[in-house]
A and B are shown apart, each in its own frame.
Chain A
């Protein structure tokens, strides 16, 4: 589970997260929506322990893995080495652990990560996160820059892990349709604050949310 209470995170004097409170129960898959600059990645990095909060509390039930925005692979290394390094925390160094969960990775194992397509890179980032055998997974922008069929494939794996293995997921997305398809609940973050939260079914009917995230804009 993820429990965030009254979290404040700043970059110098600029406040990126302003008293954010958010919960993801164990085994739940929850979406976090919001425009660019809302503070989503800041939250992801804080959950991963890479940023120190100015105040507030963060509680994580079990090991957390992050699929960072922009994949962030080790470009000069092979896919297998990228995956092996994902096991730094768990001690799981054999990439076949990831191949079992994401079979497509086995075919890519010897390729250099930097030359792969965006979708393949996201798959590697996904596998690398799983190598740490996480209880909680934070995905920062799963679909960013990917073709719809590629996104659907990745989303299918994510939903499967959540359903079958009870993986707790916080899915950060700008594609609200995808988020609403995958998750039952969602939070909407704007300018560092949670402005709306609730069941996806209700949020989809909320004119403000629908206008900003489902309307004429690209989905």
Chain B
């Protein structure tokens, strides 16, 4: 029973990291219509940064915030490449984000080499109802809850958040009222970078990160985001938590080598179901 609870909480923590990356995918897709395949890269960049910064002797807090800001900058640069030029179609932008991901491999290998790196997180563990939980897992869960609450407030209550949503809801109308949809797209990419960065910083102490970790991250996050039809943050969060728990349980009970297949399988099932349910909507644009 206590093993089950341990797996469950570990799974929730893993799911939270997936949710943060998936949240970035959703924010970017909602505002720009682009599926950002460089989303896992932001987490990797932040993870590698935080390991270096802590290695240089910078204190906790400063290192993590700096790493997240670097990821946000990476998001902004990806945005400039993907949606910086007016009239780029979402499909071309998607290809650009794939290219950015590959380019990032080269940069990361030059800067950090190809070996996995880790970083110290919150040390220690607590015992909850007989189950030992690493403090870092609790931190991941707490931070993710706070981030999603803030995101909901930002998009639901603030004027800027509503303007971002407007770009997604009707890009032509957004331009009619004077919203610079290109600028909002860049803002969404920076926000996506920020979310990916938070995930990377939180995850690196739990499982070492290397340049190609982004594949595992993006596949899981994409599965969760597709679950939320790439537009619904709350459903995405639920999907990510489910995925995290399912994978951790699979690993815990001895099917550890099949984690990625679990995610891929789930994603394909969801996509088939959704393709049957949702007609392809195309927005008329001027």
Residues of A with Cβ closer than 8 Å to B?
A: 41, 45, 48, 50-51, 66, 68, 72-77, 81, 84-86, 88-89, 93, 128, 132
Q: Which of B123-180 touch A at CB < 8 Å?
A: 159, 162-163, 165-166, 169-170, 172-179
Contact of A72 among B159, B176, B178, B179 (CB under 8 A): B176
A132 touches B178 (CB 8 A): yes
B175 touches A50 (CB 8 A): yes
Query: What residue of chain B has the Cβ atom nearest to residue A93's Cβ?
Result: B159
B162 touches A48 (CB 8 A): no
Report A-chain residues with C-beta under 8 Å of the C-beta of B257: none
Query: What residue of chain A has the Cβ atom nearest to residue B173's Cβ?
Result: A72
Query: What residue of chain B has the Cβ atom nearest to residue A74's Cβ?
Result: B169
Query: What residue of chain A has the Cβ atom nearest to residue B169's Cβ?
Result: A74
Report B-chain residues with C-beta under 8 Å of the C-beta of A89: 177-178
Q: Does B286 contact A (CB under 8 A)?
A: yes
B178 touches A74 (CB 8 A): no
B173 touches A51 (CB 8 A): no
Counting residue pairs across A and B whose Cβ atoms lie within 8 Å, the total is 52
Known: A50-B286, A88-B177, A132-B177. A74 touches B170 (CB 8 A): yes
Query: What residue of chain A has the Cβ atom nearest to residue B231's Cβ?
Result: A76
B166 touches A77 (CB 8 A): yes
CA distance A183 to B165 in the complex (A): 37
A88 touches B286 (CB 8 A): no
Closest Cβ of chain B: how far from A187's Cβ, in Å? 21
Contact of B177 among A41, A51, A93, A128 (CB under 8 A): A128
Residues of B with Cβ closer than 8 Å to A?
A: 159, 162-163, 165-166, 169-170, 172-179, 286
B163 touches A88 (CB 8 A): yes
15 contacts between A and B (CB under 8 A): A50-B172, A50-B286, A51-B286, A74-B165, A74-B170, A74-B173, A81-B162, A84-B162, A85-B162, A85-B163, A85-B166, A88-B178, A89-B178, A128-B177, A132-B177
CA distance A74 to B170 in the complex (A): 6
A75 touches B159 (CB 8 A): no
Closest Cβ of chain B: how far from A61's Cβ, in Å? 17
Known: A84-B159, A85-B179. A68 touches B172 (CB 8 A): yes
CA distance A75 to B172 in the complex (A): 13
CA distance A132 to B178 in the complex (A): 9
Report A-chain residues with C-beta under 8 Å of the C-beta of B178: 88-89, 132
Report A-chain residues with C-beta under 8 Å of the C-beta of B170: 72-75
Contact of B169 among A50, A68, A75, A132 (CB under 8 A): A75
B177 touches A85 (CB 8 A): yes
Contact of A88 among B165, B172, B179 (CB under 8 A): B179
Report A-chain residues with C-beta under 8 Å of the C-beta of B169: 74-77
Closest Cβ of chain B: how far from A79's Cβ, in Å? 13
CA distance A68 to B170 in the complex (A): 12
Report B-chain residues with C-beta under 8 Å of the C-beta of A50: 172, 175-176, 286
Report B-chain residues with C-beta under 8 Å of the C-beta of A84: 159, 162
Report A-chain residues with C-beta under 8 Å of the C-beta of B162: 77, 81, 84-85
